[in-house]
Amino acid sequence: MKVLLAMSGGVDSSVAGALLLDAGHDVVGVTMKLWGGQSDTGCCSVSDVDDARRVAQQLDIDHLVFNFADDFDTHVVQPYVDAHALGVTPNPCIECNRHLKFDRLLGRADQLGFDAVATGHHARIGRSDDGRFTLERGADAAKDQSYVVHMLDQSALARTLFPVGHIDKAEVRRLAAERGLRTASKPDSQDVCFITSDGGRTAFLGDRIPFRRAKVVDTSGAVLGEVDAIETVTIGQRRGIGLPGGGPKRYVVDIDPVAATVVVGADDDLRRDHVDVEQLTWVDGPADGEVRVQASAHGATVTGHLVAGSPVAGVSHVRFDVAQRRIAPGQSVVFYDASNRRVLGGGVARR
């Protein structure tokens, strides 16, 4: 099989390439140039591209660079900025997977005559009894990345490979060291690639949108203080919201960008027994009934009931068995089957 391997410059995609070669595939590596600005924390730095190129040399495979910077700005960076201006907390890494690492890359692979695209994600692709593709958690529970690839449907899964999904991270590093790959001990990327470690999110947004001061009120409406920039506040936040220390813990329970108001309350005020989810995608058709719900990349799952046939088109309603901390609007909500192993689909928490 002719496989286009997405190489981020990390150890997972490096070992994915080695495993593909061991399996007899014809492999070509590709690194996507996504962010043209300053980067020092994610997977888009110059050093990452160089690491990918050198690993390709070690594996004796061709290495290409695709410039998708315009698409990245359109589908990831600008929506990230716009969301904060609206009081929404976006998930840029998932949007990058959705629009670039799979949609855009799969399209380019098709154009160039490749049979499949492979990545270093810790997730697994299987088959159901009737031959349909399934998307499942990676073997390493601590590194599972099925959450961030939940948008893959049958067409995408048929042309995608996750070579390291069936092994744990320790084995990945052992294989990399055994083969002398330069990324064997390289730390994992943890942060958004276009947010630098020195300036952070506040500096990034401040260069692109005007910040507005906002009053901070409690759930009764009493004014407690103010924040310098409502655009940098998110649901569930406890620090940096203009309140003095001491006293009971207060959390952001709501944000009203129109009224320039941040509402804070106790932990109980933050809890909800439901969430509405929009922008839905499904691995193999819509689901309903009991599901396991995950709302962060490495967060725990909780039991909820997915209601089909919502009166609002394109929106599903999930009711939790036990009230949970409110999921920030804009965050991805992913559904798993009752075994908590197989991805059913997901979407975005609605305001």
Annotated catalytic residue: which of 43, 44, 93, 96? 96
On whether both 296 and 256 belong to a single domain, the answer is no
On whether both 140 and 242 belong to a single domain, the answer is no
On whether both 247 and 166 belong to a single domain, the answer is no
On whether both 48 and 146 belong to a single domain, the answer is yes
On whether both 85 and 171 belong to a single domain, the answer is yes
On whether both 251 and 138 belong to a single domain, the answer is no
19 has which bridge partners? none
Question: Edge-to-edge strands of the sheet including 116-118?
Answer: 62-67, 26-33, 2-6, 116-118, 160-161
| CATH at 252 | 2.30.30
- Note whether residue 22 is domain-resident: yes
- Note whether residue 151 is domain-resident: yes
- Note whether residue 195 is domain-resident: no
On whether both 155 and 252 belong to a single domain, the answer is no
On whether both 221 and 243 belong to a single domain, the answer is yes
On whether both 10 and 115 belong to a single domain, the answer is yes
Total domains present in the chain: 3
Annotated catalytic residue: which of 43, 44, 93, 193? 193
Please state the pTM of the whole predicted model: 0.93
On whether both 229 and 322 belong to a single domain, the answer is no
Is the CB of residue 278 less than 8 Å from the CB of residue 315?
Answer: yes
pLDDT at 315: 85
Closest CA to 296 of 111, 103, 117, 150: 150
Is the CB of residue 184 less than 8 Å from the CB of residue 177?
Answer: yes
pLDDT at 291: 96
- Note whether residue 29 is domain-resident: yes
- Note whether residue 36 is domain-resident: yes
On whether both 60 and 114 belong to a single domain, the answer is yes
Clarify whether 96 is annotated catalytic.
yes
Last residue of a domain, one of 265, 289, 307: 265
- Note whether residue 206 is domain-resident: no
Clarify whether 44 is annotated catalytic.
no
Last residue of a domain, one of 152, 178, 204: 178
Sign of torsion, CA 108 111 112 117? positive
pLDDT tens sequence for the chain (351 residues): 999 999 999 999 999 999 999 999 999 999 999 987 665 555 666 788 899 999 999 999 999 999 999 999 999 999 999 999 999 999 999 999 999 999 999 999 999 999 999 999 999 999 999 999 999 999 999 999 999 999 999 999 999 999 999 999 999 999 999 999 999 999 987 678 888 878 789 999 999 999 999 999 999 999 999 999 999 999 999 988 888 777 789 999 999 999 999 999 999 999 999 999 999 999 999 998 999 999 998 889 999 999 864 445 578 999 999 999 999 999 999 999 999 999 999 999 998
Domain that holds residue 139: 2-178
| CATH at 331 | 2.40.30.10
Burial class (CB in 10 A: 0-12, 13-18, 19+), 128: exposed
On whether both 329 and 241 belong to a single domain, the answer is no
Q: Whole-angstrom Cα distance, residue 229 to residue 337?
A: 40
pLDDT at 199: 78
- Helix, strand counts (H, E) of the chain: 10, 17
pLDDT at 311: 47
DSSP state of 125: E
